[in-house]
Amino acid sequence: MKDCVLIKDLFPLYKEELLREEAAKILKVHFKECENCRKGYERYCKKEQEKEEIIRKKQEEKDRGFLKLLRSYRKIFRFLVGTLAILTVTLSTLLFLFAALVINGGWAKRSKDIADYPEILTKEQNMRTGFFVFPKTLGEEIVDSTFDYYYKDTLFDPTISVFLQVTYKKEGYEAEVKRLEEVKKTQSGEVKLLLRDDGENYPYSAYIAVENHNYSYEYALLSGKHQITYIYTLHVPREKIKFDTKYLPSDYMTEEGRAFGSGYSIYRANKGESVISYDYNREE
């Protein structure tokens, strides 16, 4: 019995093969001779196996929980990365659009409604002109009219195109031609008039307030029987003109007109050798 008690104490070491070789042989011989110890060892091994199985299952559950948590973290990470990428693209797009709006001036204003004409002459800002060749009002002396207005406030200077074509009654036409003949502007003691062109550079006889000056033109054409066509452009190249280009002068936007201060402008005043100013107020 004493041997059996000692043998039971050695079950764990025997199972784990931690006994010396001589002691292990003694246990093997004893198991052959003692059925109780042999069955006791089998029960011990079974219990240990059950314990190991329980531990293994718990570990598997922990591992599954960890993997599930890891997958959740991965999903969250992918979501965050995707969201960050979308936000980055969106922000980049917004910054690009903002820069484009700042540089290009946002959406352009466009009108073909003749009812908008008086407001454009009086209320639009930064037009860089006094609209001297244009009539201030359109009254009952008008038979027909065509109007096209384009404005885009770009980063440094606006892009502007104003086209007004009016067919007058005879008396109205004669009065308007007389007005154009008498348009003047006093600049630094100098009386400046509209330039005249009798079809050399312009397609029709023209009265010119601005010609090839700082990327701008302003003139009136006697374009038909009792018809006058009024045009103002600023920073509009020929290929982007909104109206029929047949109304443009032959040297429209030549290189000479791209230099600052070149060409002619009735609005320009020299106040010394290097001082240039512009007065857009209309003289009555």
pLDDT one-digit tens code per residue, 234-266: 989 999 898 999 999 998 987 654 555 568 899
Last residue of a domain, one of 26, 58, 78: 78
Q: Are residues 180 and 48 in the same domain?
A: no
* Integer Cα distance of 100 and 62 in angstroms: 55
Q: Are residues 73 and 127 in the same domain?
A: no
How does pLDDT run across 185-222, given as a tens digit for each residue? 887 778 889 999 998 999 999 999 999 888 899 999 99
Domain count, the chain: 2
Distances 155 to 95, 120, 178, 217 between C-alpha atoms, Å: 16, 21, 39, 20
Q: Are residues 240 and 131 in the same domain?
A: yes
CA atoms within 13 A on the CB side of 205: 10
* Residue 60 domain-assigned (yes or no): yes
Percentages of the chain per state (helix, strand, coil), in multiples of 5? 45, 25, 30
* Residue 206 domain-assigned (yes or no): yes
What would the two tokens of residue 156 be?
A: 């440094």
Q: Are residues 215 and 169 in the same domain?
A: yes
Please give the DSSP secondary-structure letter assigned to residue 253: T
Q: Are residues 72 and 209 in the same domain?
A: no
Q: Are residues 62 and 123 in the same domain?
A: no
pTM exceeds cut of 0.75: no
* Residue 22 domain-assigned (yes or no): yes
Give the domain range for residue 16.
Answer: 2-78
* Residue 84 domain-assigned (yes or no): no
- Three-class SS state of 168: strand
**What kind and span of H or E run contains 144?**
strand 142-152
Last residue of a domain, one of 78, 96, 129: 78
- Three-class SS state of 50: helix
pLDDT at residue 147, rounded to an integer = 95
Q: Strands 205-213 and 195-198: what pairing? A: antiparallel
- At residue 151, what are phi and psi to the nearest 5 degrees? -145, 130
Do residues 225 and 219 make contact, with C-beta atoms less than 8 angstroms apart? no
Q: Are residues 131 and 259 in the same domain?
A: yes
What's the burial of 64, exposed, middle or buried (CB within 10 Å: 0-12/13-18/19+)?
exposed
Q: How far is CA 113 from the centre of its chain?
A: 29
* Integer Cα distance of 128 and 223 in angstroms: 25
Do residues 7 and 36 make contact, with C-beta atoms less than 8 angstroms apart? no
- How many CB atoms are closer than 10 A to CB 5? 9
Q: Are residues 176 and 40 in the same domain?
A: no
* Residue 181 domain-assigned (yes or no): yes
* Residue 90 domain-assigned (yes or no): no
pLDDT at residue 229, rounded to an integer = 97
Nearest to 248 by CA among 261, 238, 234: 238
Q: Are residues 39 and 175 in the same domain?
A: no
For residue 157, what are the contacts with CB-CB under 8 A and spacing of at least 6?
A: 128, 215, 234, 235
Do residues 280 and 267 make contact, with C-beta atoms less than 8 angstroms apart? yes
Q: Are residues 57 and 135 in the same domain?
A: no
Last residue of a domain, one of 78, 100, 123: 78
* Residue 95 domain-assigned (yes or no): no
pLDDT in tens, the chain (284 residues): 567 888 888 888 888 888 888 888 888 888 888 888 888 888 988 888 888 888 888 888 888 888 888 888 888 888 888 888 898 888 888 777 666 655 555 678 899 999 999 888 877 667 888 899 999 888 888 999 999 999 988 767 788 999 999 999 999 999 999 999 999 888 777 888 999 999 899 999 999 999 988 889 999 999 999 999 999 999 899 998 989 999 999 989 876 545 555 688 998 876 555 556 788 887 55
DSSP 177-188: HHHHHH-EEEET
* Residue 83 domain-assigned (yes or no): no
Do residues 264 and 208 make contact, with C-beta atoms less than 8 angstroms apart? yes
Q: Are residues 179 and 239 in the same domain?
A: yes
Q: Are residues 116 and 195 in the same domain?
A: yes
pLDDT at residue 283, rounded to an integer = 57
